[in-house]
Amino acid sequence: MRYLKYKKGVSNFSLKHMNNEWVVIKKKVLQYCISCLSSIESEGVPIEQFMGEFITKGTEMFESEEIVFGEKEIVQHHIPDVLSTFIYGLDIPNAIKEFEKEKTEKHFKCLLGAYYKDVLLGILCQKEALFLAGKLHTDISLSVILCAGYFNDKLNMIAEHLDSYLSANSQKIFGYSIQSEYGRSSILYLSAFILGIFGKADAKDKVLKFCTPPHPAYIAATDNLYSDDVQIVNDWVTQLAEFHIRNSKEDHTFAFNREYWQYFPVEIITLLQLRSQKGLPIDFITHPLLKDFLPFIAQQLPIPLDETTHQLEKRILEK
Express each pLDDT in 140-161 by its tens digit: 999 999 999 999 999 999 999 9
Evaluate whether residue 6 is within a structural domain.
no
Q: How confident is the model at residue 9, as a pLDDT?
A: 45
Label the pairing between strands 61-68 and 71-78: antiparallel
What are 265's strand-pairing partners? none
Query: What is the number of structural domains in the chain?
Result: 1
CA-nearest of 80, 75, 179, 180 to 123 is: 80
The average pLDDT across 71-94 equals 92
Evaluate whether residue 2 is within a structural domain.
no
CA-nearest of 81, 253, 96 to 180 is: 253
Q: What is the pLDDT of residues 50-81, one digit of tens each?
A: 999 999 999 999 988 766 667 778 878 899 99
CB-CB contact of 21 with 291 (8 Å): no
Evaluate whether residue 3 is within a structural domain.
no
Predicted confidence band of residue 14 (pLDDT cuts 50, 70, 90): confident
Evaluate whether residue 217 is within a structural domain.
yes
- Residue 182: pLDDT over 50: yes
Q: How many CB atoms lie within 10 A of CB 11?
A: 9
To the nearest whole number, what is the mean pLDDT of the chain? Answer: 93
Q: How confident is the model at residue 6, as a pLDDT?
A: 39
Predicted confidence band of residue 12 (pLDDT cuts 50, 70, 90): low
**What is the extent of the structural domain holding 240?**
12-317
3-class state of residue 54 by DSSP: helix
| CA angle 231–235–236, rounded 5-degree value | 125
Evaluate whether residue 178 is within a structural domain.
yes
- Residue 125: pLDDT over 90: yes
Evaluate whether residue 4 is within a structural domain.
no
Evaluate whether residue 7 is within a structural domain.
no
Evaluate whether residue 93 is within a structural domain.
yes
3-class state of residue 215 by DSSP: coil
Task: Report the percent of the chain where pLDDT is more than 70.
Answer: 95
